């Protein structure tokens, strides 16, 4: 059972400057469930029957159950009031994937809070029983439909404790967001893309990584590779040899994918970044408003994907 409240009448529970949200007494809504309505109908029939038959025991039972219902409503409300929430970790995802939002619930009261439920919608929910003076972390999933910054949607905190006769809830707006990368596109051949063919044996003599020995000088050898110390010791003219794979400098450029719309081009660039990172290759990224210097590793991968995710957004 859900009650649609006009937006202008909604009292949200929002994060403060420290990112913490605390559920206040006036931020909780409560209505009877269908079981609660059935319970109220039963009390009405018992009351009418007690009047009709002038049955004092019937009156006693009716008012006793009515008082139980009122106490139940109070406990339903108290199960939410004073609960503290703060946003947790949110990992970046690719467009089209479900984004995970962690929410930390803190029960500062010395009593258990059973049946606490968080949800964006009925299909994305999580529930937990909070022991006294404890913290629990719940994770909600929401599909990322567009790239860029993805703020955490408004979620609902609710409970039906203790008897399920009443449904209490509060609307939460937590200061949390995740980053959505472009969806990786299919492999598209880019123009002017340098090839990179890793060698298992290395380009001995023409690499730049490790010194592997000397050989006799050959005309055309670079003066920077000549062993001048050996020449000074009158040991002849020798050239230093270095081993290691030669890595061509790879630039992933916006202009390498002409004819594609913006989102399709970003998807193609995202695929190129993932492929280069998977090959452990040095690569740089050129966008109309940004240039990322060539590097390799996870830091470079994250920087390139972040630049693609935020392309076109205002700083």
Both tokens of residue 290?
Answer: 């940004």
What is the helix (H) or strand (E) element at residue 271, kind and residue range? Answer: helix 262-278
Give the model's pLDDT for residue 220: 59
**127 close to 116: Cβ distance less than 8 angstroms:** yes
Q: What is the mean pLDDT of residues 71-80?
A: 94
* C-alpha–C-alpha distance, residues 188 and 32, integer Å: 58
**Domain spans of the chain, in order of start:** 1-175, 198-246, 250-309
**Residue 151 falls in which region: left (phi positive, over 0), alpha (psi -120 to 50) or beta:** beta
* C-alpha–C-alpha distance, residues 120 and 99, integer Å: 12
Claim: this prediction has a pTM higher than 0.85: no
Give the model's pLDDT for residue 219: 66
Angle (nearest 5°) at CA 93 between 90 and 96? 130
Query: What band does 94 get if pLDDT is binned at 50, 70 and 90?
Result: very high
**What are 132-153's pLDDT values in tens digits?**
999 999 998 989 989 999 998 8
Tell which wins on pLDDT, 199 or 216.
216
Average pLDDT, the chain: 82
The answer on pLDDT for 165 being more than 90 is yes
């Amino acid at each position: 059972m859900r009650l649609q409240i006009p937006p202008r009448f909604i009292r949200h529970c929002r994060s403060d400057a420290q990112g913490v949200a605390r559920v206040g007494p006036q931020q909780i809504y409560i209505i009877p469930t269908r079981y609660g309505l059935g319970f109220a109908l039963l009390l009405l029939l018992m009351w009418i029957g007690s009047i009709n038959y002038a049955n004092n025991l019937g009156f006693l039972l009716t008012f006793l159950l009515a008082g139980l219902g009122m106490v139940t409503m109070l406990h339903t409300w108290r199960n939410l009031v004073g609960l503290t929430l703060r946003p947790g970790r949110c990992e970046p995802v690719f467009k089209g994937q479900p984004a995970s939002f962690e929410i930390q619930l803190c029960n500062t009261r010395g009593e258990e809070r059973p049946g606490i439920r968080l949800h964006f919608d009925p299909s994305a929910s999580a529930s937990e029983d909070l022991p006294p003076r404890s913290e629990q972390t719940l994770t909600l999933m929401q599909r990322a439909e567009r790239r860029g910054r993805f703020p955490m949607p408004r979620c609902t905190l609710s409970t039906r404790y203790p008897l399920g006769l009443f449904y209490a809830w509060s609307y939460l707006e937590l200061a949390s967001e995740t980053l959505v990368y472009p969806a990786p596109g299919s492999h598209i051949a880019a123009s002017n893309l340098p090839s990179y063919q890793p060698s298992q044996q290395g380009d001995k003599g023409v690499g730049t990584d490790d010194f592997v020995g000397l050989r006799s000088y050959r005309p055309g050898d670079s003066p920077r590779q000549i062993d001048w110390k050996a020449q000074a010791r009158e040991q002849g003219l020798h050239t230093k040899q270095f081993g290691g794979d030669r890595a061509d400098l790879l630039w992933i450029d916006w202009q390498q994918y002409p004819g594609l719309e913006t989102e399709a081009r970003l998807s193609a660039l995202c695929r190129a970044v993932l492929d280069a990172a998977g090959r452990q290759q040095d690569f740089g990224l050129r966008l109309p408003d940004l240039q990322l210097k060539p590097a390799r590793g996870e830091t470079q991968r994250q920087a390139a994907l972040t630049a693609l995710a935020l392309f076109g957004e205002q700083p």
